[in-house]
Amino acid sequence: MNNSRSYCNKNLADIHTPLLHNYWYVAGLSTEFTVEMRERTILEKSMVMYRKADGTPVILQNRCAHRSFPLDKSILDDEGIRCRYHGIKYNHEGEIIDVPCQTKCPKVSIKKYPAHEIGPFIWVWMGDKDKADIKDIPELPIYDMEKWTHVVSEYNHMEGNYILVHENLCDLSHLPFLHAETFKTPPAYSDTPIEMEVDGDEVKFYRSMHDWSALSAFFHPAIDFSGKEFTYISGGHYMSPATNKGYAKLTADGENKDPICHYVSHYMTPETQGSCHYYWFVARNYELDDHEYSQKFGKMVQTGFDEDRVAVKYMQDMLEQDKLDFKEMSVKADAPGLAMRKIIKRLADKEYC
Ligand code: FES
Ligand SMILES: [Fe+2]
């Protein structure tokens, strides 16, 4: 019996699908980059991350070219990093600039990864350097700061493959169950069909409804739509292997105004095949000065996220440990997640086959 059949599917990415490199991933929060070095493993590669004295973020291979000593355990100064083992020194480009006891430096560099700071995040390009283009960094709501207020998560660690996290985020059907106590979505929410659109390598999905009771947990208490007809759309957008954007939009029917809107953007960065780094970012375009509400809303999102984190770990453990010869079945509401898994499988085939 072939136990690997339990999670292998020829058309769908799963926890064993090799990780994708030619994408921008969030390397860390802007606040995590300081003049102190920090180690983070991204796509199974150990990185050392820091800021130069002028504030520029730097991400280098964390492994000394000489005997693999970790550079984050070494000494950083204005010129670069001196390895603590035998004292070889690297500049901020990763080039060797000093070797104790010899006058000539070998023409050897450690790898430097393109890094770019936008709003609350520092992004890293993990693929072929000539393909790195900052125009490919997925859009954040923060680009339009005037119109939005926001809350950014702390760093979160996820003990599960990033595809399990994406599938969770593409899955509107789990909200009334896994998050029953946190989001308190009413039965009308789960009864509304999910619409989906695949657009190239992206997937958009949503539920559209007119039930006021579905809104309570998601919108500011000052909003009163009583007596009005309105449309409430709860949806998401799988944008890239690094990004999945959720939203809740409320529009009064017949009014020619921008919708009242919450975005919950999610950023997953694979650490290993079985774990990932995770950050979220909440933004809304109304009641901009109610900071207490912002904090309360951020807390609710984090509580929901913690519920997802536990579920993802349960599933990762089951997929890794249970040897039952088994194939998962899918239902209608899984369509966005399945579309995302097809896309990632196709991208992995393109990169590896
Ligand atoms: S291991 Fe870094 S200098 Fe030898
Ligand atoms: Fe969730």
| pLDDT over threshold 70, residue 143 | no
Least distant ligand from the CA of 306? 2
- The answer as to whether 215 is a domain residue is yes
Is 73 a pocket residue for ligand 1 (Cβ < 6 Å)?
A: no
3-state secondary structure at position 339? helix
Q: What is the mean pLDDT of residues 258-282?
A: 94
Q: Whole-model pTM?
A: 0.93
- The answer as to whether 10 is a domain residue is no
pLDDT tens digits, one per residue of 323-339 = 999 889 999 999 999 99
Among the candidates 126, 158, 193, a domain finishes at: 126
| pLDDT over threshold 90, residue 211 | no
Specify the CATH number for the domain of residue 85.
2.102.10.10
Q: Which distant-in-sequence residues (6+ apart) come within 8 Å of 285 by Cβ?
A: 147, 148, 258, 260, 261
> Of 66, 90, 96, which is best to mutate to test ligand 1, by the most ligand atoms within 8 angstroms of its C-beta?
66
Is 66 a pocket residue for ligand 1 (Cβ < 6 Å)?
A: yes
Q: Which residue range forms the structural domain that includes residue 106?
A: 31-126
Is 69 a pocket residue for ligand 1 (Cβ < 6 Å)?
A: yes
Among the candidates 68, 97, 126, a domain finishes at: 126
- The answer as to whether 18 is a domain residue is no
Residues, the chain: 353
Among the candidates 100, 126, 152, a domain finishes at: 126
**How many domains in the chain?**
2
- The answer as to whether 23 is a domain residue is no
Please indicate, yes or no, whether residues 41 and 188 belong to a single structural domain of this protein: no
3-state secondary structure at position 206? strand
Least distant ligand from the CA of 96? 1
What's the CA-to-centroid distance between 177 and ligand 2, angstroms? 9
pLDDT tens digits, one per residue of 11-67 = 999 999 999 999 999 999 999 999 999 999 999 999 999 999 999 999 999 999 999
Least distant ligand from the CA of 173? 2
